[in-house]
Amino acid sequence: MLADSPIVSSPMAIPKKKLVSKTQTQSRRTANPFEYGRELEPGELADRTEIVVRVRDAMLQGRKLFLIGPRRFGKTSVIRSAELGAIAENGIVLRYDASAFPTIPDLAIRLATDAATVFAGPVADAADRIAKVARDMFARLQPTVTIGPDGSASLTLGIDVRRNAPAESVPLLADVLDGIERGAKKVNRPIAIVLDEFQDVVERGGIEAESQIRAAVQRHKHVGYIFAGSKTRLMVDMTSSGRPFYNLGDREFLGAVPRPDCALTLTAGFKAGGISVEDGALDKMMDLAEDVPYTVQLLARACWDTCRASVATGSVPATLTVDLVNNVYVRVVREQDPYFSSSWEALAPAQRTALVALVRNNGVRLASSAIARQYHTSVSTLQSALDALEARGLVRNDSAEGVTRLRVDDPLFGAWVSRFIGQPGASK
């Protein structure tokens, strides 16, 4: 439009203003504060400050640290917050989810590519500079670098890594880690490598993987390592006495957020929505969620929306009561029925029996002959089925205060089994 052109208004251009109540305006502006299913930012984490600091310091100080915590407990968010803290102090963090890579060589190549790119720095002749850095760091692997139309680097190795036997894949990864250590000596900045779901590397690499990786990284002084894993029993075993990773680095265990701290966060979130909280409602929510942070957030979000639903009609938000929490919980479990039904149907009969036994016996004393007789199976069959469920990530080992029990990884799935499944071994 020309600067001196007249501004013409019409009913089509300017819609008629609608009259809205103050309550309706506030409803549109008030966002649900409870989120799940994404990496939380540092200010959104409840009572994780100390562990974030310890992980960040390990990154900056070139130390090794094993971060062990079940899925849904916020491990990735802790790593992300520590990473941002390290970057704020001029650190370089190379972070990967090992389970996202089809093979160990794929992970190794990505590590090598990113390290060479970062260490090369922003330069005009990117391809030549990155290629030179890659050759210096990974000479034995005969690297070749190409730059795509979008400016991203792609690294290939002169050896045929795709045909390497699984036993040779871990030495390849170790070679790349050695190369990054060589490159880090020339970079006047803290360097850290984060391998999330690290147990996948060990499981894929075979029995020698632990020794091979330890032999490499124990000599590294210029790179910090965060080895994180959600298969708690495997990670604990891997770092215990008699295993190669024993005493390689510190161990940090990520458990549930202490209830008082969790309650403070929940109370603040409901208060922000103008929602009153009845005594006992938050404890009921945490009981039903089994203190799993992800599930607590999920239930809190659903309860917040339910309490605020009446605001659209001009009413004040409903109070968060024990009954409301129970009703929302049942609704959420029912909404997941198609997914849970599919997961149930994928289980072998013995695994279904074991899952029902776990839920009905609160995850304890499952290896007893009495439990086996109750479910018309043998102790060995029951134990094998439980091991298979743990390997699938459906159940986890939970040890605290001298008591070990198995829990369903997703408390809502456990609730679905309890509510909808009949006799042991029965289909839905």
**Distance, CA of 425 to CA of 354 (rounded, Å):** 8
Q: Which value, to the nearest 10 degrees, does the dihedral of the CA atoms of residues 319, 321, 324, 329 take?
A: 130
**Can you give the CATH number for the domain in which 215 is found?**
3.40.50.300
Beta strands in 91-181 (DSSP E): 92-97, 143-147, 153-157
State mean pLDDT over 193-219.
91
Is the residue at 161 inside a domain? yes
Is the residue at 223 inside a domain? yes
Instruction: Please tell me whether residues 132 and 102 are part of one structural domain.
Output: yes
Per-residue confidence (pLDDT) for residue 6, from 0 to 100: 33
**Distance, CA of 244 to CA of 8 (rounded, Å):** 78
N-term to C-term CA, the chain: 66
Q: Which of 51-60, 142-151, 197-206, 305-314 has the lowest mean pLDDT?
A: 142-151
State mean pLDDT over 257-282.
92
Is the residue at 9 inside a domain? no
Q: Which value, to the nearest 10 degrees, does the dihedral of the CA atoms of residues 214, 219, 225, 229 take?
A: 10
Instruction: Please tell me whether residues 197 and 344 are part of one structural domain.
Output: no
Instruction: Please tell me whether residues 264 and 197 are part of one structural domain.
Output: no
Question: pLDDT category, 399, cuts 50, 70, 90?
Answer: confident
> Is 50 exceeded by the pLDDT of residue 1?
no
Average pLDDT, the chain: 84
Helices (H), 206-313: 209-217, 232-238, 259-272, 281-288, 293-308
CA angle 109, 114, 118 (to 5 degrees): 150
State mean pLDDT over 64-87.
92
pLDDT higher at 182 or 41: 182
> Is 70 exceeded by the pLDDT of residue 293?
yes
State mean pLDDT over 149-154.
72
State mean pLDDT over 292-314.
90
Instruction: Please tell me whether residues 293 and 226 are part of one structural domain.
Output: no
Domain boundary residue, one of 289, 319, 335:
335
State mean pLDDT over 259-279.
93
Burial class of residue 202 (count of CB atoms within 10 Å of its CB; 0-12, 13-18, 19+): buried
**Distance, CA of 412 to CA of 251 (rounded, Å):** 29
Per-residue confidence (pLDDT) for residue 18, from 0 to 100: 40
Instruction: Please tell me whether residues 412 and 326 are part of one structural domain.
Output: no
**Distance, CA of 123 to CA of 126 (rounded, Å):** 5
What residue type is assigned to position 424 of the chain? P
Domain assignment of residue 226, given as a range = 48-253
Per-residue confidence (pLDDT) for residue 171, from 0 to 100: 87
Domain boundary residue, one of 253, 277, 306:
253
Tens digits of residue pLDDT in 334-360: 999 999 999 999 999 999 999 999 999
Instruction: Please tell me whether residues 330 and 345 are part of one structural domain.
Output: no
State mean pLDDT over 165-181.
83
Is the residue at 6 inside a domain? no
What residue type is assigned to position 425 of the chain? G
At 221 the three-state DSSP class reads coil
For residue 94, the cross-strand partners are: 193
State mean pLDDT over 62-82.
91
Phi first, then psi: what are they for 239, rounded to 5°?
-105, 15
Is the residue at 13 inside a domain? no
> Is 70 exceeded by the pLDDT of residue 59?
yes
Per-residue confidence (pLDDT) for residue 166, from 0 to 100: 55
Per-residue confidence (pLDDT) for residue 401, from 0 to 100: 62
At 364 the three-state DSSP class reads coil
Instruction: Please tell me whether residues 185 and 200 are part of one structural domain.
Output: yes
Question: pLDDT category, 17, cuts 50, 70, 90?
Answer: very low
**Distance, CA of 239 to CA of 250 (rounded, Å):** 9
Per-residue confidence (pLDDT) for residue 15, from 0 to 100: 34
Is the residue at 426 inside a domain? no
**Can you give the CATH number for the domain in which 389 is found?**
1.10.10.10
Is the residue at 14 inside a domain? no
Question: pLDDT category, 402, cuts 50, 70, 90?
Answer: low
> H/E element holding 191?
strand 191-196
Question: pLDDT category, 71, cuts 50, 70, 90?
Answer: confident
Is the residue at 43 inside a domain? no
For residue 396, the cross-strand partners are: 407
Instruction: Please tell me whether residues 113 and 241 are part of one structural domain.
Output: yes
Instruction: Please tell me whether residues 27 and 118 are part of one structural domain.
Output: no
Percentage of the chain lying above the pLDDT 70 cut: 84
Instruction: Please tell me whether residues 111 and 226 are part of one structural domain.
Output: yes
> Is 60 exceeded by the pLDDT of residue 424?
no
State mean pLDDT over 398-409.
79
Instruction: Please tell me whether residues 88 and 170 are part of one structural domain.
Output: yes
**Distance, CA of 172 to CA of 160 (rounded, Å):** 11
Question: pLDDT category, 39, cuts 50, 70, 90?
Answer: low
Residue 40 is encoded by which pair of tokens? Answer: 């939380």
State mean pLDDT over 307-317.
83
Question: pLDDT category, 56, cuts 50, 70, 90?
Answer: very high
Per-residue confidence (pLDDT) for residue 45, from 0 to 100: 54
Percentage of the chain lying above the pLDDT 90 cut: 54
Domain boundary residue, one of 284, 312, 335:
335
Count of structural domains within the chain: 3
Instruction: Please tell me whether residues 371 and 408 are part of one structural domain.
Output: yes
State mean pLDDT over 45-65.
88
What angle separates helix 281-288 from helix 322-335, to the nearest 10 degrees?
30
